[in-house]
């Protein structure tokens, strides 16, 4: 391998992103045009790029509306692209969700509804259920984001506070044929969790949603608690005949991206080991575990001999107790760096494939043996920063942040640990 470690790790990240490019993965899965109308709707950080891919390869008339995160839009000719807030929803997202629901109503069996779903859709496709306000949803989402809840748990709550998620968009589209194309950003690639499953059955219940709030001691607004207790309008369950008109296709998965990165590593003469595409848990705990594996490779050539790269995906969580800056990937890297303690020959990269690590406008960062030394030279104490959920300044001081801008895809987190020797 001739490239520098940081350049090598970034090349693996870009290989992963290329494998999830909507312009590449959507066209092979487009359904046959219907006899009637084709209406395209969708939500997520990849929604605009997915819509553009449909437009460029669709042979007939087309209309529609998709909603994506601010800054993640692309110009389309026949499909309207609306931008809204993420991860906390706003009025623009609520208005777009209401219009999407209207778009799919009144269609017939000869019509097609093509739904484009990707990560971020849960926040972007916001339409509070009866009696709930946008402010109720915002307060609940903010509390969930700080709680350390896993994405599946968060989306269980979101589905049961929504008039469009948890299969309800699918119900509204009947009797038109409905085809969902989804880019997975969740561990396990569960279609009912991706963007809170607006077109697929939902196995969770109001009781499950209440249990999540209780587990994480979330003080939701009174209206939210009352709505969940009433449990008056349950989501459609697996086997529900009302969704017989609907089908779904996963067009890209985190595992596909890890395999693409592994191929790039082989070509560079480095042995890859994929540890899994669905890793969850507290980011700092995962960082410590990964440090132990990397040190074992470095010292004992187990479970793989160097030069090697450990690849993993999934979605870690951060229970926010401090006042600092930095998403789950930066927190993972800071914990990893502290555990490695400057071990020679070990380098790492962690980044969110949508280009946004949490709420920060960076994708992630790289680290090497000297990263913490550079940060300490700027007067920063890494352990104190980790305690305050404040990883961002450490990597900013070290000059190792990764800024991609919006990637317009989303297959969750990408982590690579390179052991030179």
| The pLDDT of residue 182 | 98
What pLDDT band is residue 1 in, cutting at 50, 70 and 90?
low
Mean pLDDT of 360-366: 92
The pTM is what? Answer: 0.94
Phi, psi of 163 (to 5 degrees): -100, 5
User: Are 110 and 128 part of one and the same domain?
Assistant: yes
**For the chain, what is the mean pLDDT?**
96
CATH code: domain of residue 194: 3.40.50.10180
Q: Do 192 and 319 share a domain, yes or no?
A: no
Q: How far, in Å, CA of 96 to CA of 67, rounded? A: 7
Which residue in the block uniquely carries the two structure tokens 């209780």?
A: 214
Report percent pLDDT > 90 for the chain.
96
283, 18 Cβ separation under 8 angstroms: no
DSSP letters of 111-152?
Answer: -EEEEEE-TTHHHHS--BPTT--HHHHHHHHHHHHHHT--HH
Q: Quick one: average pLDDT of 210-217? A: 97
* Domain span at 190: 31-252
- Same-domain check for residues 243 and 222: yes
In a domain, 384, yes or no: yes
pLDDT tens-digit map of 107-116: 999 999 999 9
Q: 252, 270, 291: which is the final residue of a domain? A: 252
* pLDDT tier for residue 15 given thresholds of 50, 70 and 90: very high
Same domain, 238 and 320: no
Q: The tokens 């390179």 sit on which residue?
A: 418
Q: What is the pLDDT of residues 390-421, one digit of tens each?
A: 999 999 999 999 999 999 999 999 999 999 97
Please tell me the distance from the alpha carbon of residue 215 to that of residue 378, in angstroms, as a whole number. Answer: 40
What is the per-residue pLDDT across 107-159, written as a single tens digit (0 to 9) for each?
A: 999 999 999 999 999 999 999 998 899 999 999 999 999 999 999 999 999 99
In a domain, residue 167? The reply is yes
User: Nearest 5°: phi and psi at 334?
Assistant: -65, -45
């Amino acid at each position: 391998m001739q490239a520098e470690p940081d350049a090598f790790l970034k090349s693996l990240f870009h290989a992963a992103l290329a494998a999830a490019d909507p312009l590449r993965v959507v066209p092979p899965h487009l359904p046959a045009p219907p006899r009637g109308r084709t209406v395209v709707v969708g939500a997520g950080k990849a929604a605009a790029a997915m819509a553009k891919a449909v437009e460029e390869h669709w042979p007939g008339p087309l209309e529609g509306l998709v909603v994506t995160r601010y800054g993640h839009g692309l110009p389309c000719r026949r499909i309207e692209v609306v931008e809204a807030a993420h991860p906390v929803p706003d009025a623009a997202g609520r208005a777009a969700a209401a219009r999407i629901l209207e778009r799919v109503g009144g269609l017939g069996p000869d019509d097609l509804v093509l739904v484009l779903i990707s990560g971020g859709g849960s926040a972007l496709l916001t339409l509070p259920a009866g009696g709930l306000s946008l402010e109720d949803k915002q307060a609940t989402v903010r509390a969930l984001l700080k709680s350390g809840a896993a994405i599946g748990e968060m989306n269980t709550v979101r589905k049961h506070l929504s008039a469009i998620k948890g299969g309800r968009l699918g119900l509204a589209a009947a009797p038109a044929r409905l085809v969902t194309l989804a880019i997975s950003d969740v561990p396990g690639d569960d279609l009912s969790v991706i963007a809170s499953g607006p077109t697929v059955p939902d196995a969770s219940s109001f009781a499950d949603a209440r249990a999540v709030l209780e587990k994480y001691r979330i003080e939701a607004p009174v209206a939210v608690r009352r709505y969940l207790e009433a449990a008056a309008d349950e989501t459609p369950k697996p086997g529900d005949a009302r969704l017989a008109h609907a089908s779904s296709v996963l067009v890209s998965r985190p595992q596909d991206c890890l395999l693409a990165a592994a191929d790039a590593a082989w070509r560079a003469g480095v042995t890859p080991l994929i540890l899994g595409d669905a890793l969850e848990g507290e980011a700092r705990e995962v960082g410590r575990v990964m440090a132990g594996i990397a040190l074992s490779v470095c010292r004992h050539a187990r479970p793989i001999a160097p030069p090697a790269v450990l690849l993993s995906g999934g979605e870690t969580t951060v229970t926010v107790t401090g006042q600092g800056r930095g998403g789950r990937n930066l927190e993972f890297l800071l914990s990893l760096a502290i555990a490695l303690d400057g071990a020679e020959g070990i380098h790492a990269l962690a980044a969110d494939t949508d280009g946004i690590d949490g709420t920060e406008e960076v994708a992630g960062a790289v680290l090497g043996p000297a990263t913490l030394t550079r940060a300490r030279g700027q007067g920063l104490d890494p352990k104190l920063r980790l305690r305050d959920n404040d990883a961002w300044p450490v990597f900013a001081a070290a000059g190792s942040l990764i800024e991609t801008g919006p990637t317009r895809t989303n297959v969750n987190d990408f982590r690579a640990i390179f052991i030179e020797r």
